[in-house]
Structures are given as structure tokens and as C-alpha cells.
Amino acid sequence: MNARLYFWQRGSAALMVPMVVVHLAVIFYATSQRLTAAEILSRTQGSLAWGLFYGAFVLLASIHASIGTRNILCEWGRLKSGSAGAVASVFGAALIALGLRAVAAVVLP
């Protein structure tokens, strides 16, 4: 792995740590209060804050996962750097598209 990718993967991980904590806290709160899906959506729909939070989370997770995928393809799959990078880029773009679609479904009214 080159230094630039190392920086981006470790940086995305560092930024995601507090986001994972918040995400897990929200899950524990929702389950402890026995909130239904409709009740959760009533609280998240129209919320710019949750949209920005989970949008950023999706982008960071996609960057982190695509770099890790590239490394696995290079080290275990024996793909050349360019090929592995192309596959990882497509994978990352798919994660971003699917993740932002999920965020939109939960946040948009």
C-alpha cells in the first residue's frame, strides 16, 4: 500500500470511530425504547443533521472499504495495482450510491 492510500484509510477510520459510537448509541436507544420503524422514521425524516451525519458516514465508510478491497485484491488476489484499483473504485462507487440512497430513504420526507 502506498503512503497516500495508507493515510486515507487510517484517516477515514479515525473519523469513523466517533460516528460508530453515535450510531451504536442510537441503535441501543431505539431498541431500549422499543421504537418501531415508523417512529424512527418520524424522527429522522426531514432532519438535515441526521442526513449530513449519515451521508458523511457513508462517504467515509466507502473510502475505507474500497481501499481495503484494493489491498486485498493486490495481496491475496494477485491483481496488479491498476486492475485492483479499478475494481475497488467501482466497488466504492456502488457503496456510495447504495449508502446515499439508504440515507435519502431515511431522511427525506
pLDDT tens for each residue of 15-47 = 999 999 999 999 999 999 999 999 999 999 999
Residue 99, C-beta contacts closer than 8 angstroms, at least 6 positions apart: 58, 59, 61, 62
Query: What are the pLDDT digits (tens) for 61-72?
Result: 999 999 999 999
The H helix count followed by the E strand count for the chain is: 4, 0
**Cα(73)–Cα(8) distance, rounded to whole angstroms?**
18
User: What DSSP string runs through 51-69?
Assistant: HHHHHHHHHHHHHHHHHHH
